[in-house]
Each structure stands twice: as structure tokens, then as C-alpha cells.
Amino acid sequence: MAYTRIKICGITREQDARLAVAAGADAIGMVFYPPSPRAVSVEQAVAIAATVPPFVSLVGLFVNLAAQDVARILEHVPLGLLQFHGDESPGFCRAFHRPWIKSVRMKEGTDLLEVARRYSDAGGLLL
């Protein structure tokens, strides 16, 4: 049976996480991409994570962040799902031993079958 899940991404404040959960969100997304106006620090993410109940997933969004920086974030923030939006290879995405999804930039010539094959162990692809 299909089940629709709702993720609210770009959460930057604890009160917004609480409101999203109260409105029925299944997942809270936090952006770890410094150029984004929605980016959070590790400290902000820890505080936000503390407000989220156990059955709501915490998702971390990354764009071409160095492996050691992703690992440092994972040491402090209990992310249940990683979402990669850059040029990360499948091996890079797998390296953190967490469920992950990959965003695909749709442009002319994108071969979705090849992308799906290449990222076959992703939990999903975002188009």
C-alpha cells in the first residue's frame, strides 16, 4: 500500500519544527549548505533535533560538503536520512552508513535510467 509522507525542509528554528510536527509533518529537513539562507549550524540543528519527537524523521540536506564535514555533523545531529543535492558520487553517499536520497538536476540530455542505475542503492531520487 502506498503511503504519502510529508517532509518540511529548510527548518531553521525550534518553534518552526514544533509547528511542522503539530501540522502532521513526518520529517523535518535541515539544510547544511552554508550559502543557503535556510542553512543551519550544528548548534542550531542539535537544538531543533531536541524538539522533534521520536517518530518524526530528521533529514540533513548537503551540497558538495566534504566527507569530514558531513561526518562531523553526524557526530552531533541524529539524522535518520541524508539528502544529497550536489555532485556526490554513489560511493560518497554510501560512505556514511545511513539511508540516503539523491537529488538529480534535470537538464537536457539527462538519462534518468542511467542515473537510476548509478544510484540504485539510494532510498529515492528527487527530480
Give pLDDT < 50 ranges for the chain: none
Q: In the CATH scheme, what is the homologous superfamily, with its name and number, of domain 7-126?
A: Aldolase class I (3.20.20.70)
SS3 100: strand
What was the pLDDT predicted at 32?
99
What was the pLDDT predicted at 1?
76
Question: Who's near 23: CB < 8 A, 6+ residues apart?
Answer: none
19-41 pLDDT, tens per residue? 999 999 999 999 999 999 999 99
Sequence ranges of the domains in the chain: 7-126
| Residue reference for cell 513526518 | 26
pTM metric for this prediction: 0.92
Question: Who's near 1: CB < 8 A, 6+ residues apart?
Answer: none
Strand partners, 60: 30, 82
